[in-house]
């Protein structure tokens, strides 16, 4: 595995501190690596510290700064403890990337209460809790970048994903509201909506389904996690200071 993120453009985040949830694999891992390569100190968050070891080690091996934090993103107290620990450790917090998410796909007649609740709680409640927790240090510092990972499923719908699409649509709605609430404090809030990205989640679809998926995508391939990380990196940069309340769709033209 190549641990060096692609650097198509230069972003300087030196001296900034970031939190990335769901940083143990896939998009979250790629985002953590990209932010660290740009100079940010990165707090990598997942349910288990052990699962974060590879991400943290990769960042440190490249000369970056990273720490692992275990957290259940659905628990308000745990979320607040992580934010407080990051601020205490690095005396600042400028970037939050809400990436932690799960799926429990099934058609609506078979969707259980637990299928619904677990996805909504992790994807939507988890994003809300972290956004709420970081607003105080960001407002006090009069600077911040909040980037929420949504999904094209929230924009187009996808059979078998009523819970997932609802959670991500909620993330987009929340993004737009909080962007308006925090804009005067120079805190921007945006969302990135990935299409089909090569992760463990899409690998589980199998080659036959993936081949059909690729036929629907104008660029005829699934995306790479590093391509989502590049979008996040831009929104976290000073270059995006006049962009807030927006949804950056990165899907190879699927929604075009």
Q: How many CB atoms lie within 10 A of CB 202?
A: 17
Q: Residues 188, 241: contact at Cβ < 8 Å? A: yes
Q: From the candidates 128, 130, 143, 164, give the one annotated as an active-site residue.
A: 164
Distances (CA, A) of 216 to 113, 136, 151, 164, 193: 32, 43, 16, 20, 17
CA distance 39 to 36: 5
- In the residue annotation, 242 being an active-site residue is answered as no
Distances (CA, A) of 1 to 5, 9, 45, 54, 227: 11, 22, 21, 11, 16
Q: Please name which of 97, 84, 87 lies closest in space to residue 33, comparing C-alpha atoms.
A: 97
Q: Please name which of 127, 25, 130, 17 lies closest in space to residue 77, comparing C-alpha atoms.
A: 130
**Residues known to be catalytic:** 164
């Amino acid at each position: 595995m190549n641990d060096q993120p692609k650097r198509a453009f230069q972003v300087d985040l030196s001296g900034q501190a970031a939190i990335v949830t769901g940083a143990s694999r896939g998009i979250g891992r790629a985002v953590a690596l990209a932010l660290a390569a740009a100079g940010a100190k990165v707090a990598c968050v997942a349910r288990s510290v052990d699962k974060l070891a590879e991400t943290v080690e990769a960042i440190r091996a490249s000369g970056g700064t990273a720490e692992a934090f275990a957290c259940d993103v659905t628990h308000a107290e745990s979320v607040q403890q992580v934010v407080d620990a990051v601020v205490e450790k690095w005396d600042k917090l400028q970037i939050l990337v809400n990436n932690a998410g799960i799926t429990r796909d099934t058609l609506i007649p078979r969707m259980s209460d637990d299928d619904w609740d677990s996805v909504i709680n992790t994807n939507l409640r988890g994003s809300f809790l972290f956004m709420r927790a970081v607003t105080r240090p960001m407002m006090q510092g009069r600077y911040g970048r909040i980037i929420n990972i949504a999904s094209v499923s929230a924009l187009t719908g996808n059979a078998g994903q009523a819970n997932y699409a609802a959670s991500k649509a909620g993330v987009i709605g929340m993004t737009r509201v909080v962007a308006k609430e925090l804009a005067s404090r120079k805190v921007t809030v945006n969302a990135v909506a990935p299409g089909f990205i090569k992760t463990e989640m899409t690998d589980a679809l199998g080659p036959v389904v993936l081949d059909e998926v690729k036929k629907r995508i104008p660029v005829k391939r699934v995306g790479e996690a590093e391509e989502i990380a590049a979008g996040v990196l831009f929104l976290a940069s000073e270059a995006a200071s006049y962009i807030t309340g927006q949804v950056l769709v990165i899907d190879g033209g699927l929604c075009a």
